Amino acid sequence: MARFFGEKTTGHARLRLMQPQRFLRVVLPGPLDQSFDYLPPDPAPFQAQPGVRLLVPFGRQKRCAILLENSSESAVDHSRLKPALQQLDESPLLLEPDLKLLRWAASYYQHPLGDVIFHALPSRLRSGRSIQRAQPEGWRISALGEQQDPDLLTRAPRQRQLLKLFAAHPAGLSREQLKRQFGEALSALRSLQQKAWIEPCTLHPTQPPDTPISGPTLTSYQQQAVERVSSAFGGFQAFLLDGVTGSGKTEVYLKLIEQLLTGDGQVLVLVPEIGLTPQLTRRFERRLGCRITRLHSALSEGEREEGWHAARLGESQLIIGTRSAIFVPLPRLRLIIVDEEHDLSLKQQEGFRYSARDLAVVRAQQNNCPLLLGSATPSLESLQNVELGRYQQLSLPTRAGSAQLPEIRLLDTSRIRLEAGLSPQLIEQIAATLEQGNQAMLFLNRRGFAPVITCHACGWISDCPRCDARMTLHKSSNLLWCHHCGHQHRQPAHCPDCGSSELRPLGQGTERIEDLLQRRFPEVALARIDRDSTRRKGSLEHYLKAIRRGDYPLLIGTQMLAKGHHFPNVALVGIIDVDQGLFSADYRAPERTAQLIIQVAGRAGRGDHPGRVLIQTRYPDHPLLQTLVQQGYAAFAREALQERQLAQLPPFSHQALLRAEANQAELPLAFLQRAAELERQAAQSRGIELWGPVPAPMERRAGRTRAQLLIQAGERRLLQGWLSGWLKQLRDLPEARRVRWSIDVDPQEML
């Protein structure tokens, strides 16, 4: 021991020699799926708890690590261990319940634990930077300050003025308010704060009202749902709130949250899209007198970190966020709500591939609190969990208030001439709707002007040079743009192959529909909502507010418009091209298509005006469309589950997808073939099937060749146990170092 600590034994070293040896087990971010042991940093004694960050030497670098445990044993020769350099946090950022969830996620999704844990931290903290809470937005008078007489401050007139002002505004005053009246009164503010007569506080741009606004009277169905969930407070139970569009699912959420916020409980609400968080936040602020924290990627790093700390320290009772918010530490969690639980956006598709919905089930179970999953079009997995008794189903079969479900009609476009994708009947209905003073909304899940341009002379097509895909024409910027890899270049004036100027757009995107409608209805204000038109921060929220005010009678959008938005004046919805989802090779495509149709249709008739939905299709007799129109989503879901059971596809089996890609075309398939050979016979003997390997449906993307291997088993436990051993072998393969590979457990996108 003396040799390890050096020739000269210091006082700290002597103290350490007298104490039992301790080892720090840590994890670091990155692909290495293992922990590392270190000695405590000087000076001793060292009292850190699991969940704190440490600065450690790693090779020639200094890296930020998370302490997993203090151990009395190490499998590494003690003389080879290095001391950690520094403890970065006074108290743990992640408590044991947080680490328990992250360990479960790493194990289930077969992802390195260090990567998973660091994924749960705000980006600044991942790099080892110190915690910096946001500067106070304002100050308020403290309990001690209320006991003071400002007039006694005869020698400090500025402090006297400030203290009187704070006494008149007990809720607090912002920096801007103080600056307008007193300029930069920092010295006086500092003096009052040093005396503890004022204290920093956070003021919200939209301050919740002192007296929350009461909501509408609940329907009998809503009341039953609230009673069922609230009876489960204090224990775990998963509920599926299956309510038609416009049935008032949010009112159920609000009533449940109101009950919990009377105490000190915290509620986590997950939404699939960033665009839904401002809408929910405004509605909740009008009804609830609590601090609301938003967590999503559109916020700045500082805003996200401040919200994360407010949630972690229990300062915020209500947290609304997108999928990554499932990991935010919540010491007093009492309820988790997942809105639009069916939505694909709740599954992370790159890097650490996790399902926020499925992790919500695990977190609620570990925290012994209820989970409420809400949707008008529940996923087949959730409906099967109802059948198995794992979830309790709560139904809202009617719309709230006087609103009625819209009438849905199919428009056969197989034998009629379309104008920029629109049929004469749809254009007539748009005109009639606008004449009645209502809003009309058109849906097309394809942005840009046209999905491809071609040369009429030689047949050239605008292929992406880096992908097996076409480049989309964006007329507003005069660019050809690949929506898969981001490659773009100017639209050519002449054909690159033959030099002809006969270049023509084929198909339609939202820009082309916009162009047609502006010519057809030149006096009508039109809003196009897609990723291109809402790139600037705050632009989507601006559009949504204007649409609700009725500023735009005519709306065109992608699926950004289909998710949970309430537009009371929309009387007509037109779905321009539903056929692209009817014949996909992905077995989940019918489910996604049915959900999208019902969700888009649900934007119509939510106010006082009856709604109509017109669906353009060249296949009006398709069974999926007939079932949806005549019998509804529930009937479709029953049939789809029967088909999945016959084919033994999820949720009646469990899958993982091994993907590989490389710059050299032959490497991905070679790696996957070698991976399959490792355990194919052993897998088959245990009832595990390996399908492939095969080239990916889009074999070339961003200049790299891709392939995949599907693994399927009848039992989740069986698949998990087999994957753990198999993936360890893969990491040792020489071929694994020549490709980029990943495992996706419970894959949602096969193509």
Tokens 């790093």 sit on residue? 301
Tokens standing for 42? 């000087």
Q: How far apart are CA 274 and CA 323, in angstroms?
A: 10
DSSP element (H, E) containing 225: helix 220-230
Annotated binding site for Zn(2+): 455, 458, 464, 467, 482, 485, 495, 498
Confidence grade of residue 473 (pLDDT, cut at 50, 70, 90)? confident
Which tokens belong to 271?
Answer: 């939404």
Task: Please classify residue 477 by burial: count the beta carbons closer than 10 Å to its beta carbon, then call 0-12 exposed, 13-18 middle and 19+ buried.
Answer: middle
Pairing of strands 53-58, 86-87: antiparallel
- Return phi, psi of residue 335, to 5°: -160, 140
Calpha distance 360→338 (Å, rounded): 8
Q: Burial level of 718, CB count in 10 A (0-12/13-18/19+)?
A: middle
Domains 19-126 and 220-396 alike in fold: no
Q: Is the dihedral of CA 614, 424, 440, 481 positive or negative?
A: positive
560 or 118, which is more confident: 118
d(CA 178, CA 379): 52
Q: Average pLDDT, stretch 207-214?
A: 56
**What gap in Å lies between CA 421 and CA 616, rounded to an integer?**
9
- Indicate the CATH number of 407-449+508-643 among 3.90.550.10, 3.40.50.720, 3.40.50.1100, 3.40.50.300: 3.40.50.300
* Strands (E) located in 483-611: 488-490, 503-506, 526-529, 554-557, 570-575
The CA R_g of the chain, rounded to the nearest whole Å, is 30
- Residues 158, 169: Cα–Cα separation, whole Å: 17
Are 75 and 34 in contact by the 8 Å Cβ rule? The answer is no
Residue 107, pLDDT score: 96
On the question of pLDDT at 1 being above 60, the answer is no
pLDDT the model gives residue 238: 98
Residue 313, helix vs strand vs coil? coil
Which CATH number is correct for 654-745, 3.30.70.360, 3.60.110.10, 2.170.190.11, 3.30.1960.10? 3.30.70.360
Is it the case that residue 408 has pLDDT exceeding 60?
Answer: yes
Quote the pLDDT of residue 16.
44
**Using an 8 Å Cβ cutoff, are 671 and 734 in contact?**
no
Please report which confidence band the pLDDT of residue 209 belongs to, taking 50, 70 and 90 as the band edges. very low
pLDDT tier at 381 (50, 70, 90 boundaries)? very high
The residue with greater pLDDT, 130 or 26, is 26
pLDDT of amino acid 634: 95
d(Cα 270, Cα 31) in Å, to the nearest integer?
A: 28
Task: Give the neighbor-by-neighbor strand order of the sheet with 292-295.
Answer: 292-295, 318-321, 266-270, 333-339, 371-375, 238-243, 391-396
Instruction: Please give the CATH topology (third level) of the domain spanning 19-126.
Output: GIY-YIG endonuclease (3.40.1440)
492 burial level (CB within 10 Å; 0-12, 13-18, 19+): middle
DSSP percent split of the chain into helix, strand, coil, nearest 5: 35, 25, 40
Q: Over the stretch 501-535, which tens digit does the pLDDT of each residue have?
A: 888 888 778 888 888 899 999 999 998 887 777 77
Higher pLDDT, 102 or 451: 102
- How many beta carbons lie within 10 A of that of residue 501, not counting itself? 11
Segment 387-414 mean pLDDT: 89
Task: Spell out the residues 6+ positions from residue 402 whose beta carbon is closer than 8 angstroms to its own.
Answer: 608
**Residue 205: per-residue pLDDT:** 43
For the segment 712-735, what is each residue's pLDDT rounded down to a tens digit? 999 999 999 999 999 999 998 998
- DSSP state letters, 185-202: -HHHHHHHHHTTSEEEE-
* Domain locations along the chain: 19-126, 138-201, 220-396, 407-449+508-643, 654-745
Structure confidence by residue, pLDDT tens digits, 255-287? 999 999 888 899 999 999 877 777 777 788 878
Q: What is the pTM of this model?
A: 0.85
Mean pLDDT of 533-545: 76
Could you list the residues known to form a binding site, using ranges: 455, 458, 464, 467, 482, 485, 495, 498
Average pLDDT along the chain = 86
Q: What is the pLDDT of residues 56-70, one digit of tens each?
A: 999 889 999 999 999
The Cα 558–Cα 538 span in angstroms is 18
Q: Which CATH class is domain 220-396?
A: alpha beta
Is 445 in a helix, a strand, or coil? coil
Of residues 336 and 152, the one with the higher pLDDT is 336
Asked whether the predicted pLDDT for residue 3 surpasses 70, the reply is no
Instruction: Classify burial at 73, counting beta carbons within 10 Å of its beta carbon; exposed 0-12, middle 13-18, buried 19 or more.
Output: exposed
